[in-house]
Every structure is written in C-alpha cells, then in structure tokens.
A = this chain, B = another copy of it.
Amino acid sequence: MTTELVAVGTEILLGNIVNTNSAYLAEQCALLGLSVYYQTVVGDNPERMRDVIRTALDRSDVVILTGGLGPTEDDITKEVTAELMGFELVEDAHWKEILEKYLKQYQKNNQAQRRITSNNYKQAMVPKGGIVLDNHNGTAPGLIMEKNGKTAILLPGPPNEMKPMFEESVYPYLRSKQPEIIYSQMVKICGIGESQVADEIKDLIDQQSNPTIAPYAKVGEVHLRITAKAQSEKECKKLIKPVVRELQSRFGKNIFATEESKTLEEAVVDMLKDQNLTLSLAESCTGGMVASRIVNVPGASDAFTHGYVTYSNRAKRKCLGVKKATLKMEGAVSEKCAKEMARGGCFFSKTDLCLAITGLAGPEGGTEKIPVGTVFMACCFNEKTVVREFHFTGNRSKIREQAAAHALAMLRECIMEGVNKKN
C-alpha cells in the first residue's frame, strides 16, 4: 500500500515548530512495510488544503493527516476531508459524553484556564460511517474514512496525543490491512563510525530482499533495523534470526542493544547493575551531559552515585585532586589531567569506576598542538586507568554531544573488559 503523510499547520509552514510527526509516522510506516512516496505540509487554508488532500488521495492508497482537528474555526481538516470523500458529519453522542467528562476533569485539574465553548462540541462531530478513535490525551477524536479503496486517517497534531493514538489504534488497523505480517528487529551499534558500518554491511544491503536492513545514523551510534515480511510473526523471526546472527559476528561487542527502545545509557546502567558496580563521572567539556544521559535512565541512582562537573581548574583540583603541576605543565586538556580526574573521582566518591572527560569544545582556544575538538577520556576501574584521545568536528555543542556519546561507548567497553579481567 502506498501511503502519504500530510501535516496540517501554519506553525509548521512558518517554521515555528519542527515537523517531527512526519518523521515518526514515516518510521512507523516503514515498520509496517508501507511505501511512503510523499510527505506534504499545508496550512489551514481551505482551497490549498483541498488541493493537497485531493492530490494525496489520487496518488496514494492511504493518507495520514495530522493536525487541524482542534475546536477553533481554523481547524478544518475533518471538514475538508469529509467533504472531499463524501462523508456527512454527525454528532457522536458517545464522544460528546467523553468530551464533557474530559473537559470537566480538565477544569478541575485546572492545568489551564480552559472553558467549555460551543466550539468544543465541534469536536464531537464525526463522519457518518467512519471509524472514531479514542484520544486519552486530548479532546479531538481520531478518525478513519474509507471509500473506493482509499483511506484517510485523521490524527491530532500534538505528538503526545498523536503517538499514543497511532500505537493503540492506527498501527493495528494498518497492520490488519497488510496481506503479510511485517516484523522488524533493531540492532544498535556504538563505537564504530557510520561509514565503517555502511562499508561492513554493504554486501548484505546489496543482496538484501527479505529481510531488509535499514541503517539509522545517530550521534555516536548506528541503528540497523532488520525488517521481514511473511505469513506469520514466527516466519518473520525465522528470516531475521540469521541476519542478526551475521551482524553479531561482524560487530560483536559493539552491539549494545537488540531491543527497539533500549538506549546506550540504559545498556551501560544495566551492565553496572548486573555487576553490582558503582559509577562516578568527572566531566569538564561535556559539563554534565554524560551524567544527564545516565540519570535519564529510571533507577540509575542504584549505580550512578556521584557526578563532578569540574569545568574550572580549581574544581578539578578541589573535587578530584588533580595536581597543580599537571594543570600547569600539561594543561587541563591532556592525557595526564584526564587520568588524574578519573583516579580522583574513584578515590573521592569511593566508586568502582570513574569516567573522566576533558577537552576543548571551542570555538576559541585551539592551538597547533591541541586543536578545537580534542577530547581526552580516562576510565579508572580495578586500579587500572585507560586513556583515549578523540578529535571531533563541528561547533561547540556538536563536539560536546559526540564526546558524551563516545564517553558512554568507552564506559561500556571498559566495564566489559574490566569485568572480564576480574573474572
């Protein structure tokens, strides 16, 4: 089935917000084996919206629209689509009830000074003969209209309403329309560059048919999604298994997750917990970025106890015991400083591991010897301290982002190696 994504919203046309809905829906469609050939953004103008939706319905089997389902006069996505497809809008008693309950609750919580206006009841109008989708996070129902082999799916614009609705109602709906079962598995890799991964799987990608391998490049990570089509999930898994095994043999310990939702920081925290290890962090140029990612893992506090953001030399000395001489002779951005930061972190926090990061994120201060982008990382574990030198490119925040991502990858490696040595 060919699918088209239409985002409705003047705020997207003005660049007030980034159209993340289309990216999310595109990935979900890929996951479902639907071919998305076009994405369009249009405003709340009736003529232009009509043109866009008509064109979309002409050239695609399924059109997924987001936005323009609100209670104001500007919200006309439902009206325009229903008119185009020849659906009459009628009041849905059930949804009207839900609407009133929801709005009363909303006022009670008083999260906003919102009143029930006659406009709100506009949202209880649904296409006669269409499918109405519950919305547990807002007042706009989702809608599905089917006619003459064409399907229009209308979803609310706010991602926190759209995504749950898609997962709960639309995904199963679209999946049931598919002649075959689509099943996919993620393989997440860290510690290797995107281009190197691409080179190492080129042969697999060239010869692929079913399952397919789709690489997704993230900062410091590469995600490979293996997607299979078959008559049953069991068959899909059977098709995917050898590919995953092949990838595991090629990327070995650089694979940190084979679950869709698992993050690199989660993988690290899990390893620490499994081994009953405690972690401290000593960050200079990343300034708390690594700690922040670790803390984003629920329950990280069991393993991650202390974080030191020692951006100033004084703090490096006071909190981590970095030697004055080291800072004077070698400078803060040096192998020696990174080492002393990591050792000091372990000593003062009494943790099993400490990862230290010190570098030059720029834009100022670069030299011949230490150009902007130079970052030293040290990991102290089992009385051993490993140090690495990195050179990143990009602006200040890009350099820091990459440093944080590679720090997590290095941390993961050190835990694996350290533990192996110990056992």
Contacts and interface: CB of A to CB of B under 8 A. Distances in A.
Interface of A: 12-20, 22-30, 36-43, 45, 48, 52, 55, 111-113, 160, 195, 214-217, 281, 283, 285-292, 294-296, 298-301, 304-312, 314-315, 318-319, 349, 362-364, 393-394, 396-397, 400
A403 B287 CA distance: 17
A27 B15 contact: yes
A298 B362 contact: yes
Q: Give me the 5 closest cross-chain CB pairs, A-B, nearest first.
A: A288-B288, A307-B309, A287-B295, A15-B27, A15-B26
18 contacts: A14-B30, A18-B20, A19-B19, A38-B40, A38-B42, A39-B40, A287-B300, A287-B307, A288-B289, A288-B307, A296-B396, A301-B311, A301-B312, A305-B314, A306-B318, A306-B319, A307-B311, A318-B349
Contacts of A349: 315, 318
A113 B194 CA distance: 12
A26 B14 contact: yes
Contacts of A291: 287-288, 309, 311
From A40, A301, A396, residue with most partner B Cβ within 10 Å: A301
Can you tell how many copies of this chain the complex includes?
2
Given A15-B25, A23-B18, A400-B296, A281 B301 contact: no
Nearest to A313: B301
A47 B289 CA distance: 45
A388 to B, nearest CB: 18
A263 to B, nearest CB: 10
Nearest to A285: B295
A306 B368 CA distance: 29
B295 A195 contact: no
B298 A306 contact: no
A321 B27 CA distance: 48
Contacts of A13: 26, 36-39
Nearest to A29: B15
Nearest to A109: B393
A38 B23 CA distance: 17
A289 B291 CA distance: 8
Contacts of A23: 12, 15, 17-19
Contacts of A20: 18
Given A15-B30, A23-B18, A307 B306 contact: no
Given A295-B288, A307-B309, A42 B37 contact: yes
A78 to B, nearest CB: 21
A110 to B, nearest CB: 11
